[in-house]
Homo-oligomer: A and B are copies of this chain.
Amino acid sequence: MPYGCGVTKTSAERAQPTAEDRLRPAGRATRSAIEAAARTLFAEHGFDGASVRGIAAEAGVDPALVIRHFGSKEALFLRTLDRSLGVGKVIDGPLETVGRRLVAYLIDTDNASIRGRFVAIARGSHLAQVRDEMVRHTAEAYIAPLAPRLDGEDREVRVALVAAQVAGLLNLLFLQEDPVLSTAAPETLVALYGDAIQQLLTP
């Protein structure tokens, strides 16, 4: 470790001024314009369907600038990606009703952003880093808060299987747009699938 330098720096000022902190206003503006355009187009067309040139055009910017600012299309995608589906509050609630509340939250038609976030993630799942994020999300959003609260054996496996059930439901609803599930009454889905989930948590 050759650096450290013996300089008695009294404090590190802010968290980390490592990068992106000293940007001129113009830089910030175009950066966020690119991010906004990327968020829109990735959610609409997925990773492969959206093009860097298209994002640049939407942001009113040269395609080279997109790469210049974010390094690569994949890095931009990862930065733009919403990691979470926001299930935290639901999962922290009473354990005996997590199943039904989880389904009710996921298929809530008022919360259209769940669809967009899931589609963007699923359509980018061939990227290794996206897969890693999904695994991390399963561990942090489902297993970590839920497994310690369970009784019985195989707690982590049971929670991971709940995550599988969630993924499957969103898959048929939002990716395949299965007509049977799309036209079913929400309360029917909540009751049936919620109980199937619940069985893995409190059998």
Complex contacts, A164 vs chain B, CB 8 Å = 165, 168-169, 171-173, 178, 181, 193
Question: Which residues of A from 109 to 147 have beta carbons under 8 Å from B?
Answer: 122-123, 125-126, 131, 134-135, 138-139, 143
> Are B138 and A192 neighbours in the complex by a CB distance under 8 Å?
no
Bound-state CA distance A156–B182 (Å) is 12
Secondary structure at the A interface, as helix, strand, loop or mixed, is helix
Q: Is A195 an interface residue (CB 8 A)?
A: yes
Q: Is A188 an interface residue (CB 8 A)?
A: yes
Chain multiplicity (copies): 2
Q: Is A179 an interface residue (CB 8 A)?
A: yes
> Are A178 and B126 neighbours in the complex by a CB distance under 8 Å?
no
Q: Is A98 an interface residue (CB 8 A)?
A: no
Question: Which residues of A from 142 to 194 have beta carbons under 8 Å from B?
Answer: 143, 154, 156-158, 160-161, 163-169, 171-173, 175-181, 184, 188-189, 192-193
Which residue of B131, B188, B197 is within 8 Å of A175 (Cβ)?
Answer: B131
> Are B126 and A176 neighbours in the complex by a CB distance under 8 Å?
no
Q: Is A78 an interface residue (CB 8 A)?
A: no
Which residue of B126, B156, B184 is within 8 Å of A46 (Cβ)?
Answer: B126
A residues contacting the other copy or chain, number (CB 8 A): 46
Bound-state CA distance A200–B199 (Å) is 11
> Are A157 and B184 neighbours in the complex by a CB distance under 8 Å?
yes
The answer to whether residues A178 and B160 also contact, given A126-B123, A192-B154 and a CB cut-off of 8 A, is yes
Q: Is A48 an interface residue (CB 8 A)?
A: yes
27 CB-based A-B contacts, threshold 8 Å: A48-B126, A122-B125, A125-B175, A131-B176, A131-B177, A135-B177, A138-B172, A138-B176, A138-B178, A139-B180, A154-B184, A157-B181, A157-B184, A157-B188, A158-B192, A160-B181, A163-B168, A163-B172, A164-B173, A165-B165, A165-B168, A165-B196, A166-B168, A167-B167, A193-B200, A196-B196, A196-B200
A residues lining the B interface (CB < 8 Å): 46, 48-49, 122-123, 125-126, 131, 134-135, 138-139, 143, 154, 156-158, 160-161, 163-169, 171-173, 175-181, 184, 188-189, 192-193, 195-197, 199-200
